[in-house]
A and B are shown apart, each in its own frame.
Chain A
């Protein structure tokens, strides 16, 4: 990975913190240069072409019941919009990817706030939204100090602003809900935006998105085919041991293999580190899914919203990336230095 781009750009220009920033943010060069990016785009395009064909074949063979067919059609139509909407900003240029992550964070927070009732506390919601915008600004400016500062600053602002209404009843609940909302959807997802500062961000983001979505699909398929024993019956009664194990069996090698291609030539490109990343992504994706299951059952709702027909809310579809984004960012960052600001660089582990 070319991890020195921000630093070298600034040094070359020699004109302070933000020199050379625009060139990187709007850089459309080499969108499809990396084999992993091409592979992921091909897999997504192939799936979008093959799904209706296979559904048609199965229907002709009489092996696709009508109600399942309707469900597949609704989900497919949603993916037909969603997949290009996810890939296009990544392929376009870094700023587009950062803004897309910001939009996703805001949509996720909106669903969460409306599901928990937090949206009625407008000052808290406004601070979370400002926090999300702040994280995006820090990513755009490639300013890691601000990126890390946004979390404590937002928490301080939330804790302080909740005092103003002079209504101590429910203080802990509403502040905690807001803090969790910001940490998960602002600070957590924001790591994806910060990754776009890396010259190699396209294959990296494509890899993470593909692996987390593959985890969901593999868990569903293995669970349907072999699922018997439920691991978390209170949290998610449809999840089975076979589903969890099957998802790991698919995601760990897939992620490790792709990461090898993405990280080639860096300190990260060692088998044990790649496998650990695969395990982290595999476990993190499933934990994200179960975490959202816990949230929904705690509130007593089935879906987080109805933004995506056939899927429920945006969060119901993207829960698996919530925990993976910060975990993968910092784990990779330990070795490659990615994520550090334009003034620093280099990993802390040789």
Chain B
């Protein structure tokens, strides 16, 4: 069909998760939040900020380095379930619905109820550590390069059991190698003491989020070697933020 001269040519951009049933949508990395999620995240964000400030005395160092608009990836060391909440709470309110923490699919998305809570309140996207992670990373890379979202990611792949930061997996490189998407390294201190793996009730330990300068990997090749190079460089930056004598999370 052609458009007659003078007829407006409107463009539509359906939701990226259009055509998925509700359950599939909650578990899709293509999910886009709507009005309900936006309200829920606004309330959850305010409550989280109040809790982290009051109970953990959350302090953000270098907050001015947090990106002003998507696309971006924020990476950090991972020692506690509090980590994603700390970064999400530190982000400007207007960005929250466009920033997605990547959460372990096998921990947060196995049941529908848990998927709904993680997606609706925290805006999480699932990443299954074993199955179909490659395809999910490709889809996330496409969303990043389209400039529509920011991601929060813990490249260690799991919470440290010892308090020491582990190796970064190459998946983070797969998201950004060869692109101009900025990656912001962060160091979270105190979360391990506040709520370590296996802990049920958070302790009132002080938590500090230290934000580093953004890095880009435009010149890095988009292949296995490039991805590993990105992972190594990012680990070095995150570790550097931890500083001497602060190697434990």
Contact = CB atoms under 8 A, between A and B. Distances in A.
Contact of B21 (A115, A172, A301, A309): A309
Contact of B12 (A116, A172, A303): A116
A115 B14 contact: yes
Nearest to A111: B18
A113 B21 contact: no
B34 A110 contact: yes
B138 interface: no
A119 B15 contact: yes
A116 B34 contact: no
B34 A306 contact: no
B231 to A, nearest CB: 33
A126 interface: yes
A234 B15 contact: no
Interface in B1-39: 1, 8, 10, 12-15, 18-22, 24, 32, 34-35, 38
Contacts of B10: 173, 298
A305 B19 contact: yes
Interface in A295-311: 298-303, 305-307, 309
Interface in A6-33: none
B12 A117 contact: yes
A190 to B, nearest CB: 19
Contacts of A122: 35, 38
Contact of B14 (A116, A126, A306, A309): A116
Q: Could you say which interface size class chain B belongs to?
A: 10 to 19
Contact of A125 (B15, B19, B22, B35): B35
A114 interface: yes
B147 to A, nearest CB: 13
A234 B1 contact: yes
A173 B15 CA distance: 17
Nearest to A172: B8
Q: Could you say which interface size class chain A belongs to?
A: 20 to 34
Interface string B56-92: 0000000000000000000000000000000000000
A115 to B, nearest CB: 5
A348 B38 CA distance: 46
A299 B12 CA distance: 6
A260 B34 CA distance: 45
A280 interface: no
A301 B21 CA distance: 15
Nearest to A117: B13
Nearest to A129: B35
Contact of B18 (A115, A125, A309): A115
A114 B12 contact: no
A306 B12 contact: no
A173 B8 CA distance: 9
Interface in A158-215: 172-173
Contact of B34 (A114, A299, A303): A114
Contacts of B13: 117, 120
A306 B35 contact: no
B35 A114 contact: no
B22 A117 contact: no
Most chain B CB neighbours (cut-off 10 Å) among A114, A115, A126, A303: A114
Contacts of B38: 122
A74 B21 CA distance: 14
Contacts of A113: 34
A303 B19 contact: yes
Interface in A303-324: 303, 305-307, 309
10 contacts: A114-B14, A116-B12, A117-B12, A122-B35, A172-B8, A299-B12, A301-B19, A302-B19, A306-B20, A306-B24
Interface of B: 1, 8, 10, 12-15, 18-22, 24, 32, 34-35, 38
Q: Can you list the 6 inter-chain pairs with the closest CB atoms, starting with the nearest?
A: A117-B13, A114-B15, A306-B21, A299-B12, A119-B34, A173-B10
Interface of A: 110, 113-117, 119-120, 122, 125-126, 129, 172-173, 234, 298-303, 305-307, 309
